[in-house]
Amino acid sequence: MPKTDKSMPETDAAAARPLAPPPPPPDDTADEAAPEEAVPFVSAPRNHRPWTLRRRLVLTVVALLALVSVIIGVVSVTILRASLQDELDAQLASAVSRSLIVLEGGTGRPGILSLAAPSATDILNGPAQQPGTLALVFDGATITAGYTDDSGVVQPLGTQQVQLLVDGASAGRAVTIDLGGAVGSYRVVTASTRTGVAYLIGLPLRNVNSTAANLGLIIALVSLAGVLVVALLATWIVRLALRPLQRVTETAVRVSELPLDRGEVTLVDRVPVADTDPRTEVGRVGSALNRMLDHVDLALETRQASEHKVRQFVSDASHELRTPLASIRGYAELTRRSGEQLPPDIQHALSRIESESVRMTGLVEDLLLLARLDEGRELEMQPVDLTMLLVDAVSDAHAAGPDHQWDLDLPDEPIECLGDAHRLHQVIANLLTNARTHTPAGTTVTAALSTEGDRALVTVTDDGPGIPTELQGTLFERFARGDSSRFRGTGSTGLGLAIAQAVIGAHHGDLSVESRPGHTCFTVSVPRARDDAGSLR
Residue 15 has pLDDT above 50, yes or no: no
Do 111 and 257 form a contact (C-beta atoms < 8 A)? no
In the predicted model, what is the mean pLDDT of residues 434-442?
89
pLDDT by residue (tens digit) across 141-152? 788 888 888 888
How are beta strands 405-409 and 444-452 bridged, if at all? parallel
Q: Is-contact 419 507, C-beta < 8 A?
A: yes
Distance CA 351, CA 333 (A): 8
CA distance 79 to 36: 51
Measured between its terminal Cα atoms, the distance across the chain in Å is 122
Q: Please check whether residue 165 is in contact with residue 177, taking contact to mean a CB–CB distance below 8 angstroms.
A: yes
Q: Is 389 helix (H, G, I), strand (E, B) or coil?
A: helix
Pick the most confident of 36-45, 98-107, 172-181, 330-339. 172-181
Q: Which residues contact 23 (CB under 8 A, 6 or more apart)?
A: none
How far is the C-alpha of 235 from the C-alpha of 232, rounded, in Å?
Answer: 5
Residue 151 three-state SS: coil
Q: Can you name the residues that pair with 401 across neighbouring β-strands?
A: none
Contact 488, 411 (CB under 8 A): no
- The candidate with the shortest Cα–Cα distance to 138, out of 163, 160, 155, 113, is 163
CA–CA distances in Å: residue 499 to residues 128, 217, 316, 373, 506: 113, 79, 19, 9, 11
Task: Read off the pLDDT of residues 326-364 as tens digits, 9 standing for 90 and up.
Answer: 788 787 777 777 766 777 787 778 788 877 877 777 777
Give pLDDT tens digits for 454-501.
899 999 999 989 888 888 778 888 776 654 444 444 555 677 788 888
- Distant-in-sequence, close-in-space partners of 94: CB < 8 Å, separation ≥ 6: none
Contact 396, 364 (CB under 8 A): no
Higher pLDDT, 43 or 316: 316
Q: What is the pLDDT of residue 108?
A: 44
Q: Can you list the domains of the chain with their CATH numbers?
A: 1-12+51-241 (no CATH), 255-377 (1.10.287.130), 382-527 (3.30.565.10)
Per DSSP, 198 falls in state: E
